[in-house]
Structure 1
C-alpha cells in the first residue's frame, strides 16, 4: 500500500529560485521510494521568477495549483487605509483557499502525513489546519529559522508556538537553527532533526570549464542585503586591485548605498550586475568562473545559503566572507577550496582575494553535495512518523 503524502509548498516548479529545489527534490525522492505525493501550491501569478526547466511529471505526483490574487495587488490600497498593517508573507490570500482545499483533498483520499516547508508562513498555517482538524502527523520543515527568532527588531509571531505544539516533528538545516528553535519555541531537541540542503545533480556533474586566461572574475549569485549580506566592502576591495580582477553579481540589483558607492569607484567597469537567470544557465556560468563568492553576516549566522552546496560541488575556488562561528563558516572553513575573510573587514577581504587568485584547486568528491542525501534523511524522518 502506497503512503499518501501531502506537501504544502506555495512555491513549487515552475517557480524559480534557490529555495524551490529543496521541496522539489524531496517530492522526486519520495516518489522514487514508492510514495504517492500531492503538492498543494500557488498559481504562477504569485511567482516573481519562473524556471520551467525545474518542472517534472510522474503518475504518483499530483500538483494542485490554486488560483488566487496576490497580496501585492491589494497591499497598496490597504496601506492607504491601514498604514501600519503588515503581512506574514505574499501568500496570505492563497492561504485561505489552500486551507479549504487541503481539507477537501484529505476527505477525498486521506493523507498519512503532511509536510510543510518554511520560509513561507502560509505553508505552515495550512499544514497546521489539516493536522489539527484530522490529527494527521505533520512534519514542519523550517529550513532557516524565522527572522523574529534571532532578531529583536522583528515582532514575535505567536502562531509559531501553536505550530511547535502540534507538529509531530520539526526539521531545520543547521545545528545552530536546531538550538534556536528548541530554545525559543520550547521544543525538545529530540523532536528536531537537522537535514542540510544540497545541490542540483547538474552542479556535481557539469564539466568544469577552465577560467579565461585573461582576467580573474569573481561571481556572486543570488540575493544580497544591506543588513546581513552587505557587498560594499567586497566592491571596494576589487576596485582597489589590479585591472585583471572583476566582480559580477547575478540575480539581484544594487541597493541605495551600493549605487552611491558605484558612482565613487575608480574603476566602476570592474563591477557588473545581471538580473535573474534560470538556474541551469547560472550553473554553466559559475562552472566557468575563476572563483565564487559567499557572503553571510551576523543576521544570517544561524543559516547556510542553499547555493553553498552548488558552489562546493562545482569544485571552484570560493571566497567565503563571514564571521568565525557562523553556520556557514562551520560548514565551509575546512573545505580545501575555500578561502575565508571576515565579514565587513575590507583588509581581510582584500587579502583573501589575493590568496584566492593564486589558489590551486583541490580535486574532491563532487557527488557528496547533492540533494540526494538531504532527501534520504528527510524521508527517514517521514518514515518514523508513519510507524
Structure 2
C-alpha cells in the first residue's frame, strides 16, 4: 500500500552532518517503492558543517528553527557543560527542537495527510515527539535508530531518576512504533531480546557509487596512503592505530585523517607523514577514496566490539 510518508529528520541536506546522509538516502529511494517522502527538517545550523551536494533532492517541505536553551551553557567552564546538559535536558540537549516538533507535527499531519510517520534518532527527542503525535493521531510510526539509546557507549544518566526516565521514553517509543529499524545487527538483536513484541529490522548503511567517481585502486602507489574518514570524538579516535603503526617501524606510509570538523584531534609527531583535514563534502570524498590505498576505523573500548 504505497502512499505518503512524513519524515522527521533533524539532520537533512544541506546539513553536512553524517546522519543527514541516511535520512537523505531513504527520501531519495523511497519513490522507487511507490512512497512519496515529505521531509520535516531542522533549519541548517551554522554551527554544523554544510554540504550542498544533495540539497533540494528532495527539498524539505518545512524547516523548523528552534531555540535551544542548552547552548547558553557554552559560556560556562568546559568541564561543567556536559554534566549540566545531561542533568537539565532530557532526553538530549535539543529540547527546543523536541518541543517545537511536537507542537507543529499535528498541523503538518493534517495538512500533508501522510499514511505513515517516520522519524530517526538523531536526536532521540525526535522519536519522543513523533511517538507522542503518532499515539494521539493513531498514525503508523516507523522509527529509525542511528545509534543505540540506553545501551549507547556514551549513555551516562545523571541520576537513577534520569536513568528511569530514559528507559521509560525508550520503551514508550518502541512500543508505539509499528516498525523499529536499526543500522546494526547487534542493536537489532538487543532490542528484540528486550522488546519481544516489537518488530525490529536491520537496514545497514551503504555506499552509492553514483554519488562520486572513484578511480580504481593503484597497487603500485607509494607511499601507501592510509585514510581515516569520519568525525573525531570520544572513543572514536585514530590514536590507537597511529601508535600501532609507529611500532611497526614503517616510514613508507602516509596517514590522512579527514573529517575533523571541530578540531578535536591533535596530530602529534610520528615517524611517518600525517595530515589532518576538516569536513569534506560528500562528493569530494570520491577524490579522497581515489587517493587512498586503504581505510581504517579505530574505536577505543568500550566502542570496539
| TM-score bracket for the superposition, by shorter chain length | 0.7 to 0.9
Deviations 1:39-71 (A, max 9, x none): 11111126511101121345xx65210122244
Whether the 8 Å contact between 2:219 and 2:293 is mirrored in structure 1 is yes
Q: Does 1:176 align with 2:186?
A: yes
In structure 2, the residue matched to 1:13 is 13
Aligned partner of residue 295 in structure 1, secondary structure: coil
Q: For the residues of structure 2 that align with 1:23 and 1:248, how far apart are their CA atoms? A: 28
Q: Does 1:237 align with 2:240?
A: no
Report the alpha carbon displacement of residue 198 of structure 1 after superposing the two structures with TM: 0.8
Aligned partner of residue 15 in structure 2, secondary structure: coil
Find 1:294's aligned residue among 266, 275, 297: 297
Q: Does 1:270 align with 2:273?
A: yes
In structure 2, the residue matched to 1:125 is 128
Deviations 1:160-192 (A, max 9, x none): 1111221111111222111212334x2436x11
State the TM-score, normalized to the length of structure 2.
0.82
**RMSD of aligned residue pairs (Cα, Å):** 3.0
- Unaligned runs of 5+ residues in structure 2 are 158-162
1:154/1:246 CA distance change after superposition, 3 Å = same
Whether the 8 Å contact between 1:6 and 1:40 is mirrored in structure 2 is yes
Find 2:72's aligned residue among 65, 70, 74: 74
Aligned partner of residue 287 in structure 2, secondary structure: helix
Question: Which ranges of 4 or more aligned residues in structure 1 deviate by more than 4 Å?
Answer: 77-80, 150-153
- Unaligned runs of 5+ residues in structure 1 are 302-325, 327-387
Deviations 1:322-351 (A, max 9, x none): xxxx4xxxxxxxxxxxxxxxxxxxxxxxxx
Report the alpha carbon displacement of residue 226 of structure 1 after superposing the two structures with TM: 4.7
Aligned partner of residue 298 in structure 2, secondary structure: strand
Q: Does 1:111 align with 2:114?
A: yes
Q: For the residues of structure 1 that align with 2:240 and 2:153, how far apart are their CA atoms? A: 23
Aligned partner of residue 296 in structure 1, secondary structure: coil
In structure 1, the residue matched to 2:105 is 102
Q: For the residues of structure 2 that align with 1:198 and 1:300, how far apart are their CA atoms? A: 21
Whether the 8 Å contact between 2:131 and 2:176 is mirrored in structure 1 is yes
Q: For the residues of structure 2 that align with 1:152 and 1:295, how far apart are their CA atoms? A: 16
In structure 2, the residue matched to 1:320 is none
Whether the 8 Å contact between 1:37 and 1:62 is mirrored in structure 2 is no
